[in-house]
Structure 1
Amino acid sequence: MQGMIISNPRLEFLRPVLERWFDCIDRYNAVRGDNDTPYWHDEKANLGLLSAAAWMAELVTLRDTATRKQNEEGERNARADLFLAGAEDRAYIQATQRWPRVTSLNLTQALADITSDAKRISYASDLKLGCLFVAPQKAQHSASPEELQDMVDDLQKEHTCAVAWYFPYAYRKLRSEAGNYHPGIAVLFKEARG
């Protein structure tokens, strides 16, 4: 089960990146086998995959890049987790990750927090995005198809500019060392204005 929705036309340049992001997850899983999957790790690992996907989509990226920010006192230095650019489009991204329960995503506050953080990473005229990676988990047994569909429905209800999800069938029953099932990952983007 995979999909994406891009509701903000300014983020349409991310479509080929997100398509290749699915491929990067599959490639990682093919190389590492059934004992590991990238979305068990933190946002830095998942930003690495997103960065690789951007390069595959013929964009460029820089991780942990220096930026400048205008404030009341003048300019100051800032940092963005990821700078992503094409010939005509570019974005500064601030990212975090959550591991909520499959049946209770509750992402609104986390998305608001990371979007607020993204406001501080560059000039007001730049496209700044809050990026929330979500690796839902469930103890005891894997998520049912109904639970996966409910999660996708919940993801689509969040107020985002873009959302993509990937719950690969072959990996839905993988358990982490902690014994939790992680059926896949989603990424949500929200534009930070100001």
Structure 2
Amino acid sequence: MSVIIESPPLQPLEPVLRTWVECVRQYVSVWGGEDLPYWYNEQSNVSVLCGAAWRAGWTALEEYQVGRIGDEAEYGAGRNDLYIANDEHGFCIEAKVAYLEITDLAAAGTVLAARCALATADARSADIEGHKVGAVFAIPYRQGAQASAEEQLAFIDWLQDKHFGAVAWVAPATVPNLRSHDDRHYPLAALVLLNA
């Protein structure tokens, strides 16, 4: 199973997460494995999640203006990364990306924890109705060489052991060239969700 939801408030997002997996696979397939939507930046990753929401029958809006709760000098007006909703549920999502060295899960844990804390803090500060969610696109890489099947499985097990509110992952079926311009190989993508 590539989607695990442990937090009941996040359970309604299951069809969106499953569709996100499909959307990543479709993107990689269209480009024959020569381009990956998740090795770019936060906005690229959010756009795939937004598309998955629409494809799953939800509505979605990216990068819209929203007030911020807190010290006006520090927060004031800002933008929210993504809002998705259906007839029953609405989710205000603040996203971050964490690029994680797959061969050093201890260091990866430090990076991921920091990005999770930032995403949930940003979600909490949004002055908007709906369930607030921190989202982190956890993107493992290996420098210079493909990650082994064992390394990929160890990464997925490691993510599951963290017991996030929800986690989804996808390893593309088409993998002729998963190396970026900086000689990093990106074997899979994961999406971590946390209640804010």
TM-score (norm 2): 0.88
Quote how far apart the aligned CAs of 1:180 are. 1.0
* Aligned AA (1:23): E
CA contact (8 A) 2:66 2:126 kept: yes
CA distance in 1, matches of 2:177, 2:168: 20
Q: Percent identity?
A: 33
CA distance in 2, matches of 1:122, 1:69: 5
CA distance in 1, matches of 2:78, 2:126: 5
Partner of 2:172: 168
Runs of 4+ displaced beyond 3 Å = 68-73
Quote how far apart the aligned CAs of 1:11 are. 1.0
Partner of 2:42: 43
* Aligned AA (1:157): D
CA contact (8 A) 2:33 2:176 kept: no
Q: How does 1:1-194 map to 2 (within 5 A)?
A: 3-71=2-70, 77-103=77-103, 104=105, 105-106=108-109, 107-123=112-128, 126-171=130-175, 174-192=178-196
CA distance in 2, matches of 1:100, 1:146: 16
Structure 1 alignment gaps of length 5 or more: none
CA contact (8 A) 1:167 1:183 kept: yes
Quote how far apart the aligned CAs of 1:179 are. 1.2
> What SS does structure 2 have at the residue aligned with 1:66?
strand
Alpha carbon RMSD of aligned pairs, Å?
A: 2.1
Structure 2 alignment gaps of length 5 or more: none
CA distance in 1, matches of 2:167, 2:179: 25
CA contact (8 A) 2:33 2:177 kept: no
CA contact (8 A) 1:171 1:184 kept: no
Provide closer, same or farther for how the CA distance between residues 169 and 28 of structure 1 changes in structure 2, counting only shifts above 3 A: closer
Quote how far apart the aligned CAs of 1:41 are. 0.8
